A and B are shown apart, each in its own frame.
Chain A
């Protein structure tokens, strides 16, 4: 099983600041099968990034994904008020599919 470790657990930032979220895999993940999601309370996860770096439909360009192998990053260039949420990475190339434990981005 590929374990995904997200860091930090919580990120306290102000609107307008840059957020950098990390997802580290216990063994190599094909970039094709690495995704990032945003989840707000009471809502289903929303796909932000697939294939490690491709933005999903309708996702603003302040969200970007990068990385390969075992290290992946989600960057939010300038936080908007609606961006404060929990973010998860996921690998779906190897069974069992796995999610990271999440990073909460909260308002400082």
Chain B
């Protein structure tokens, strides 16, 4: 059974940092692109970042470029999102999702940026 489990969310002050993790199981993690998608409270879905299977191709939405860094450890079957210089507008539920047909998503981890 494919599982994606996010962790690392929490309450952080503006300007602070967090690192999100997404633990994958039930499939060959090293074969898939992986993505982060976020959803602010009561709002729609916004794609944040993606990384290819070996980590050599990465892209971001403009609003997080220079502040967020996506990475992966294929030996640990884990996807990461390092978030720096956090802003109030980064407050959201952050999902990881498996690329390809996008059939598999985690349940999300909540990031709240507030003083």
The reply on A81 being an interface residue by CB < 8 A is no
Inter-chain contact count A-B, CB under 8 Å?
48
The reply on A107 being an interface residue by CB < 8 A is no
B101 touches A50 (CB 8 A): yes
Given the known interface contacts A96-B59, A96-B61, A97-B35, the answer about A47 and B47 at a Cβ–Cβ threshold of 8 Å is no
Residues of B in contact with A, size category: 10 to 19
Report 16 cross-chain contacts, Cβ distance below 8 Å, ordered by A residue. Answer: A37-B45, A39-B45, A44-B105, A45-B45, A45-B105, A47-B102, A47-B103, A50-B102, A56-B101, A90-B47, A90-B102, A92-B99, A95-B50, A97-B50, A99-B47, A102-B44
Given contacts A50-B103, A90-B45, 10 further A-B contacts (CB under 8 A): A37-B45, A44-B105, A44-B107, A47-B102, A50-B102, A57-B103, A90-B47, A97-B47, A101-B44, A102-B44
